[in-house]
């Protein structure tokens, strides 16, 4: 098990291996995404947060996942095209991952261990679960799919104001 988010790697949506070390010192909002979900319009708000706070040291990291209702059936290229054409996404997209079960991606294993869900549950219940990570790599909070990203502005502001 990794000690911090920075010791992990993930494959980008275009197939490159990415060290999450490159995000050290940034506030992160890590989200499991799906393009055919009732929450898919949250892409607009996630992109708005990226545009508003990106220059201040904030990054949205999107991880597509097909584990909930088969709502992310596309290939990585199809997902990238969908996000670009429909939501003008410029935040970092990663390759499709699993967030629960024996093939859980290490990023989500770390996030789930650090911040439990409703009633102490570790598993992710649906698409668009969000994890806020501070500049030092510590998980600040976990937010349900129903939490609109716009409602995270004050938590993001607070995390940005704190030094690493």
Is position 37 annotated as part of the catalytic site?
yes
Which of 37, 46, 110, 111 is labelled catalytic? 37
CB atoms within 10 A of CB 38: 14
Q: In whole angstroms, give the CA distance from residue 7 to residue 38.
A: 33
Q: In whole angstroms, give the CA distance from residue 95 to residue 127.
A: 15
Closest CA to 62 of 138, 139, 134, 72: 72
- Catalytically active residues are 37
């Amino acid at each position: 098990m990794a000690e911090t988010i920075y010791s992990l790697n993930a494959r980008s949506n275009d197939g490159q291996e990415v060290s999450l070390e490159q995000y050290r010192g940034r506030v992160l909002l890590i989200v499991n995404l799906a393009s055919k979900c009732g929450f898919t319009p949250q892409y607009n708000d996630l992109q708005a947060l990226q545009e508003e706070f990106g220059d201040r040291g904030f990054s949205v990291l999107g991880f597509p996942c097909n584990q909930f209702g088969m709502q992310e059936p596309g290939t990585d290229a199809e997902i990238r095209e969908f996000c670009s054409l429909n939501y003008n996404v410029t935040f970092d997209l990663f390759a499709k991952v699993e967030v629960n079960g024996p093939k859980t991606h290490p990023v989500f294993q770390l996030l789930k261990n650090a911040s439990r869900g409703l009633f102490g549950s570790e598993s992710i219940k649906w698409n668009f679960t969000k994890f806020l990570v501070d500049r030092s790599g510590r998980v600040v909070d976990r937010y349900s799919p129903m939490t609109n990203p716009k409602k995270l502005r004050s938590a993001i502001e607070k995390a940005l104001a704190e030094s690493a």
